[in-house]
Amino acid sequence: MSETPRAWKYLERRPGSSYQQLCIKGKRIWAWTLYCEFMSETEPRTPEQLAEDFGVPLEAVREAIEYCQSDPPELREDFRKQELLHEAIGMNDPAIWRTGKPRSLPTEERARLGL
């Protein structure tokens, strides 16, 4: 039996985005971005700091953290697709890092990879 998706007060899927993960409603701030800032090994930031710095309600930051900690399938799928894309265009190749010119990826190849 599948679980009913949670209704989030401050999070939504970004209209027109190919990503499925959620962002702060009305903003261009991914929940994952806030979560990474919160969980940073070198300089973690508090939810209060993030709310102030990003200009969003504290409850929105807490909701974004909770969402990411729940390990949603759409977040895992976005990461999987991003890894496939990086591999396909050569971003995992150190030679590309030097030139800064990844390979182009034809539409047919994108479709084959499910991107």
Strand runs labelled E in the chain? 11-13, 22-24
Would residue 6 count as lying in a domain?
no
Q: Are residues 22 and 55 in the same domain?
A: yes
pLDDT in tens, 29-81: 999 999 999 999 999 999 999 999 999 999 999 999 999 999 999 999 988 98
Range of the domain at 44: 11-70
Portion of the chain with pLDDT greater than 70, in percent? 95
Asked if 52 and 91 sit in the same domain, the reply is no
Quick one: 62 and 98 in the same domain? no
CA distance 25 to 29: 8
Residues 56, 72: Cα–Cα separation, whole Å: 22
Average pLDDT over the chain reads 88
The tokens of 101 are what? 């010119």
Containing 75, the helix (H) or strand (E) segment is helix 73-89
**Element at 74 (helix H, strand E):** helix 73-89
* pTM beyond 0.85, yes or no: no
The residue among 21, 22, 70, 30 whose CA lies nearest residue 54 is 30
Give the count of beta carbons closer than 10 Å to the beta carbon of residue 52: 13
The verdict on residue 78 lying in a domain is yes
